[in-house]
Amino acid sequence: MKIDNSLPLEYSTDQNQLNILGFWIFLGAEIMLFGTLFASYFTLVDRTGAGPAGAEIFEITPVLIETLLLLTSSFTIGLAVHAMRLANKKATMAFIGITLLLGLAFLGVEIYEFVHYVHIGAGLQTSAFTAILLTTLGTHGAHVTFGLFWGTFILLQIKKRGLTPETGNKSFIFSLYWHFLDVVWIFIFSFVYLKGMM
């Protein structure tokens, strides 16, 4: 394995560069996946049947809390990559830890929101609108849940093995995934919630 020390840790080997490029191609497929979900959402948003419309069930407070939590976590994972480039293991781990806690808090609010929807009679089978709403939000939430496990394992690897070209590369790829989830949330926040409450 040839290590090029003039490059940041995560790019320092050929394998690392290919891993990052490969992950970007995966993110391209994810963009298309969420594109199809948004297409279905916009098609079905007015098919509320006997169930409630978005404006009747959306609440601004939990949505705003979720948005701030995810935006801040996107910032802290960016700081983790910066600390990793400074070869500061302690700060890298601290920022990844903060990111995961913010992600967990986001998930907690989202689970509260889902329980609330089902409680007020807006479940998965209520109408075409509630079905696509919960599917779109749920797909994003499932990605966040997956990310929490992934991030935890990376944190354990950094603790055990330190900042090596491998762990640095994995941390960077995880940061790409996490920023991507924030981008998807921005679109959900704008075109599901704010558009629905406008």
* Interaction site with another protein (CB under 8 A): 11, 17, 20-21, 24-25, 27-29, 31-32, 34-36, 38-40, 42-43, 60, 64, 67-68, 71-72, 74-75, 77-79, 81-83, 86, 88, 91, 175-176, 179-180, 182-183, 186-187, 189-191, 194-195, 197-198
User: How many Å apart are CA 95 and CA 13, to the nearest integer?
Assistant: 24
Cβ proximity to another protein, 127 vs 175, nearer residue: 175
| φ/ψ (deg, to 5) at 149 | -65, -45
Kindly state the smallest distance separating residue 20's Cβ from another protein, in Å: 7
Kindly state the smallest distance separating residue 71's Cβ from another protein, in Å: 6
Kindly state the smallest distance separating residue 78's Cβ from another protein, in Å: 4
Kindly state the smallest distance separating residue 58's Cβ from another protein, in Å: 10
Q: CB-based contacts of 115: which residues, under 8 Å, 6+ apart? A: none
User: How many Å apart are CA 120 and CA 107, to the nearest integer?
Assistant: 20
Backbone dihedral region for residue 162 (phi beyond 0: left; psi -120 to 50: alpha; all else: beta)? left
Cβ proximity to another protein, 32 vs 50, nearer residue: 32
- Using an 8 Å Cβ cutoff, are 117 and 192 in contact? no
Kindly state the smallest distance separating residue 173's Cβ from another protein, in Å: 11
Cβ proximity to another protein, 20 vs 118, nearer residue: 20
Identify the burial level of 173 via C-beta atoms within 10 angstroms of its C-beta, where 0-12 means exposed, 13-18 middle and 19 or more buried: buried
Cβ proximity to another protein, 40 vs 118, nearer residue: 40
